[in-house]
Structure 1
C-alpha cells in the first residue's frame, strides 16, 4: 500500500503544480486584458476629442467654401462674412459716408 500512497501523492503534487501554472496563466491573462482595456479606453477618449476638432474644421471648411460663392442678400446687407474684414458690426452708416445704389435686382446696397 505504500506504493499506492506514493502514486497518489505524486498525483496530488502534479495536480497542485498544474493548478498553480493555470492560476498564474489566468492572472497574467487578466493583467494583459486590463492593460488592453485601458488602452482601448484611451483610444476611444482620443477619438471623441478628435470628433470635436473635426467638427470645428468642417465648420471652417464650409465657411471657406461658401465664402467663394455668391453672397446671399442678407450677407450683402450686412457687408460680408464675420471674420473676413468686410463684416459691418455697427448700425447703418450715414449718407455722407456711403453711396446707396440700386442693384440689377432692385435691392439697395451700400458701396
Structure 2
C-alpha cells in the first residue's frame, strides 16, 4: 500500500458514521450486509448511507455486490490488512512490540 492509498483510507475512516459502518462490516464477515440493514444499524437515513458507502468503496475499504435486488456490502480484509501493515511497517524501531510476559514462579498455578 502506498501513502496516497493510505491517506484515502484514513480520510474515509475519519468520520463517525463511516467508521461505524466499517467496523460493522468487519464484524459481519464475508457474508456482508445489505445497505438498508447497515443504515438501520448505524441510524443513518438511506440517502446519507449511500454517500458514506460510496466514500468507503472509493477508498478501497469495502466491496459491493448485487444479490438479487439488493446491494450487499462487505469489508475488504486485504485492504484492511494492507492499511495495518503500512501503519506498522517500521513499528518500534525493530524491537518487539509485544508486551513482555513474565514466567509464572515454579509451583504456581
Fold agreement, TM-score > 0.5: no
TM-score range, shorter chain: under 0.3
When you count strand as a share of all residues, which structure comes out higher?
Answer: 2
Which of the pair has the greater relative contact order for Cα pairs under 8 Å at 6+ separation? Answer: 2
Structure with greater Cα Rg = 1
The alignment's TM-score, normalised by the length of structure 2, stands at 0.21
